[in-house]
């Protein structure tokens, strides 16, 4: 349902006032999944429009593409966002369910305001600009470049389907015609360090077939540009590997006799997944460099920053066992950074950086890796920093823990109770919940072994443990920002990684 705002002016006065519009829907923006400063909402955040460009405009409908910053009470800019909006006297063709959608009740008529990707005209307009290789100019004379990677046709009728409805930190749609079948990813947080287009091009150049190829991307600026969006080939699929494994483990929770089949089928897919990740790293190997002492120091500094952010995320909780659990684990973290010393003389390279089961698709025959923009809460320059390939292996292993936790939650009294049961902190867990937790721990162990076997990594590699600890800290910081109801998963995961 749209949020309704009473605006005591004529509609024509709101059509060309982007700053007023954003301030009106500020609380809607703060509630979005892609908004990454939820922990700062008590610090008097407000919105400041930096720039805009218009794709079309009339008295009936206007498409504003806004670039705005978040500003705290000390007038400090926290980060910048890209938010294209439609203001129209007509309802959207397919109203967004979890995205911004408001009705501005003006004195003369209602104005519908919503994220532009929900309007087919926006997606087809930017695709046509991409076909031409256009360069648009913003209100403040910045350049918006539509960088085409290959020639294509925009003839025919387009069909548009949302692939994310507010569940991700980007906005994703499928765009199809007789000639094209594409995925458009609209980046909300603006960064000059999104390397996804370059990474996908490197993979294609080196013969890696298990990732999408790039059609083109939208860049704000010239040499040191900031990516606003990306068109890539759509990979027809049956869903993510995460959703596939969730179905199998969910069926096994309802009927324990199915767990053997779930373990067998999961292991088969995980071996292939490991091989795909191995081949992905080989295709990115041309970017490799030797790790120097300054890199080791950098990795240690990042670990420390994640530790501090994780501590802040748990300390902000008003109740429950998680703050005390994290506090008790803190002393065990002191010696972990020394493990990074083993990286000296090894190699760093371009990696996926945010590899997990939700970033991998299955089409019934093979596995495909997507979403190479990096971890959402990393500092922008961190996203371009090269890492050892083994870190991707560790982040994938953490993903199996997430899946086990979420698979157990329906059988428990919520996610916290499920995480405590899986972590061996029984509380008031029933025998049935204990048995299901043990079955999922066995499933996770088999899945992890199969993945490592397919990749060719040793289960005894000490760097895997170091990076699993680092990733758990990252996840605590991430969930504190975006999904605090899931904080119990990485906190208990941290406990497991430190054993």
> Is 307 within 8 Å of 473 (Cβ atoms)?
yes
The reported pLDDT for the residue numbered 94 is 67
The reported pLDDT for the residue numbered 77 is 83
The reported pLDDT for the residue numbered 16 is 77
Average confidence (pLDDT) over 372-401:
90
Same domain? For 52 and 129 the reply is: no
Q: How far is CA 92 from the centre of its chain?
A: 26
Average pLDDT, the chain: 90
Same domain? For 168 and 279 the reply is: no
The reported pLDDT for the residue numbered 294 is 97
157: CATH: 3.30.200
Phi-psi region of 338 (alpha: psi -120 to 50; beta: other; left: phi over 0): alpha
**Is residue 36 predicted with pLDDT exceeding 80?**
no
The reported pLDDT for the residue numbered 165 is 60
Confidence of residue 162 (pLDDT cuts 50, 70, 90): confident
Between 30-44, 189-203, 211-225, the lowest mean confidence (pLDDT) is in 30-44
The reported pLDDT for the residue numbered 154 is 86
**Is residue 428 predicted with pLDDT exceeding 70?**
no
Same domain? For 228 and 247 the reply is: no
d(CA 292, CA 62): 52
Same domain? For 99 and 134 the reply is: no
Average confidence (pLDDT) over 73-92:
88
Confidence of residue 19 (pLDDT cuts 50, 70, 90): confident
Confidence of residue 74 (pLDDT cuts 50, 70, 90): confident
Same domain? For 391 and 434 the reply is: yes
Same domain? For 168 and 99 the reply is: no
Residue 495's alpha-carbon distances to 163, 233, 304, in angstroms, are 35, 40, 17
Same domain? For 397 and 257 the reply is: yes
Same domain? For 346 and 471 the reply is: yes
The reported pLDDT for the residue numbered 138 is 95
98/240: higher pLDDT: 240
For 143, the token pair is: 């350049």
**Is residue 166 predicted with pLDDT exceeding 60?**
no
pLDDT in tens, 44-67: 888 899 999 999 988 889 999 999
Average confidence (pLDDT) over 120-134:
92
Same domain? For 375 and 450 the reply is: yes
The reported pLDDT for the residue numbered 71 is 87
**Is residue 355 predicted with pLDDT exceeding 90?**
yes
**Is residue 139 predicted with pLDDT exceeding 90?**
yes
Same domain? For 33 and 148 the reply is: no
Same domain? For 383 and 428 the reply is: yes
The reported pLDDT for the residue numbered 230 is 92
Which among 96, 119, 142 is the end of a domain? 119
Average confidence (pLDDT) over 357-366:
95
| Residue 172, domain extent | 122-233
Question: Any idea which residue has 């400063």 for tokens?
Answer: 37
Same domain? For 254 and 380 the reply is: yes
Average confidence (pLDDT) over 93-107:
83
Residue 473's alpha-carbon distances to 263, 351, 395, 470, in angstroms, are 28, 19, 11, 5
pLDDT in tens, 215-273: 999 999 876 678 899 999 999 999 999 999 999 999 999 999 999 999 999 999 999 99
430: CATH: 3.90.1200.10
Which among 213, 233, 253 is the end of a domain? 233
Number of domains in the chain: 3
Average confidence (pLDDT) over 157-186:
85
């Amino acid at each position: 349902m749209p949020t309704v705002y009473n605006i005591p002016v004529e509609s024509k006065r709101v059509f060309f006032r982007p700053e007023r519009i954003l301030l009106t829907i500020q609380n809607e923006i703060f509630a979005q999944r892609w908004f990454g400063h939820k922990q700062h909402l008590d610090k008097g955040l407000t919105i400041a429009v930096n720039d805009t460009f218009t794709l079309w405009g009339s008295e009936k409908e206007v498409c504003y593409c806004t670039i705005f910053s978040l500003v705290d009470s000390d007038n400090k800019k926290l980060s910048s966002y890209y938010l294209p909006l439609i203001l129209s006297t007509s309802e959207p063709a397919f109203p967004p369910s979890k995205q911004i959608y408001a009705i501005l009740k003006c004195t003369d008529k209602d104005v519908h305001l919503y994220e532009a990707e929900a309007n087919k005209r926006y997606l087809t307009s930017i695709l046509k600009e991409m076909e031409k290789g256009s360069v648009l100019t913003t209100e403040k004379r910045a350049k918006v470049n539509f960088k085409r990677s290959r020639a294509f046709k925009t003839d025919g009728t387009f069909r548009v389907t949302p692939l994310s409805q507010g569940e991700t930190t980007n906005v994703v749609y499928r765009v199809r015609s007789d000639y094209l079948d594409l995925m458009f990813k609209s980046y909300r947080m603006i960064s000059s360090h999104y390397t996804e287009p370059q990474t996908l091009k490197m993979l294609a150049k080196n013969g890696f077939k298990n990732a999408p190829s790039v059609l083109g991307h939208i860049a704000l600026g010239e040499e040191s540009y900031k990516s606003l969006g990306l068109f890539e080939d759509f990979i027809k699929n049956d869903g993510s590997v995460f959703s596939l494994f969730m179905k199998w483990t969910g069926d096994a929770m309802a009927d324990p006799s199915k767990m053997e089949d779930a373990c067998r089928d999961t292991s088969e897919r995980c071996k292939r997944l490991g091989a795909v990740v191995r081949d992905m790293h080989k295709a990115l190997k041309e970017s490799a460099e030797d790790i120097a002492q300054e890199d080791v120091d950098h990795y240690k500094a990042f670990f420390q920053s994640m530790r501090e952010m994780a501590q802040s995320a748990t300390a902000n909780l008003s109740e429950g066992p998680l703050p005390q659990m994290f506090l008790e684990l803190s002393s065990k973290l002191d010696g972990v950074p020394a493990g990074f010393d083993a990286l000296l003389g090894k190699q760093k390279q371009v990696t996926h950086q945010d590899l997990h089961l939700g970033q991998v698709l299955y089409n019934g025959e093979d596995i495909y890796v997507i979403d190479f923009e990096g971890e959402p809460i990393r500092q922008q320059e961190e996203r371009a920093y090269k890492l050892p390939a083994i870190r991707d292996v560790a982040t994938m292993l953490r993903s199996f823990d997430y899946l086990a936790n979420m698979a157990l939650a329906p059988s428990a009294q919520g996610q916290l109770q499920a995480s405590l049961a899986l972590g061996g902190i029984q509380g008031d867990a029933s025998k049935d919940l204990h048995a299901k937790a043990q079955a999922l721990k066995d499933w996770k162990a088999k899945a992890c072994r199969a993945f490592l076997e397919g990749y060719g990594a040793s289960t005894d590699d000490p760097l895997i443990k170091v990076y699993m600890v680092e990733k758990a800290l990252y996840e605590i910081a991430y969930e504190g920002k975006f999904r605090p109801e899931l904080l119990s998963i990485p906190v208990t995961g941290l406990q497991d990684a430190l054993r």
